[in-house]
Amino acid sequence: MSGDSARISGSTRFIALIGHPVVQVKSPEPLNRWFDEHAAGAVILPMDVQSDRVGAFLEAMRATENCIGVSVTMPHKQAAFALADEVSDRARQVRAANILRRTTDGRLVGDMVDGIGMMTALEANGVSVVSRHVLVVGAGGAGTAIIHAAAEKGAAVITVIEADVARAREVVSGVSTRHPDIRVRTDLPASDTVDIAINASPAGMKPGDPHPFPLERLAGSTIIADVVTRPALTPWLVAAREQGLKIQAGAEMTLAQLSIQLNFWGFPAEAVQFSKRDRA
């Protein structure tokens, strides 16, 4: 960063980005560049917070006058939802929040925009979920948001792959209730083909992780997408590209939602443009 707004002073406001770990996060560099270029007098700071300390951390943010809000990454999105004072309908559907805004009286208002980010990134790659078969691996905060967003956009079939059977059934039930015309299930019959495959699980973050879903079942897919941002390309995406499949990296979903997040925090960002280096 450069310029006067890059200098921390007593008037600087901040957004805390919490997760565990946070070394993989991609949003601080482009957001801090935007704050600098627009003389916003604000910064976003990654903070590695253990799961059992999230409540105490957010309580401290309520009392911190120059805190604008909080950006939330894995594994704290469900906790952020539970601890928020008010949440959007979108967050309530998913029971998770990935952004919080601090009000002047210290209340925390939550929203969940991972699903919008994924849909926006897919559209930027020329892919629509309308009337398509979407497979999502992982029904945590991000995965459930993506599943609901795909349903809102008009997917024809959604397959949910989730090791936690109870969680998978809950997500399927929730989507089916809101969208009875969409076929939502937890298995992939051998005869079915997938148009869009999305990994919304942590698979691929650690060396030696198995692929989130067998690529041989996705040979005819239009695109293979991931939410993992470190490594920039997971082994699953690398293997998919080697097989000639179109891929979408995790950073693309993150960057696609930054304009929405800036607006949520009170910054008038109609269209934030990010360079290719932000996607590396």
Q: Tell me, what DSSP letter sits at residue 149?
A: H
For 62, list phi and psi in degrees, rounded to 5.
Answer: -60, -35
| Cα(39)–Cα(45) distance, integer angstroms | 17
| Cα(53)–Cα(259) distance, integer angstroms | 29
Q: Does the active-site annotation cover 77? A: yes
Say if residue 180 is exposed, middle or buried (CB neighbours under 10 Å; 0-12, 13-18, 19+): exposed
Q: Which of the following is catalytic: 26, 77, 206, 276?
A: 77
C-alpha distance across the termini of the chain, in Å: 18
Give the list of residues 6+ apart from residue 132 with CB closer than 8 angstroms, or none. 155, 156, 157, 195, 196, 222
Q: Tell me, what DSSP letter sits at residue 211?
A: P
Q: Tell me, what DSSP letter sits at residue 131?
A: T
Question: Looking at the annotation, which residues are catalytic?
Answer: 77
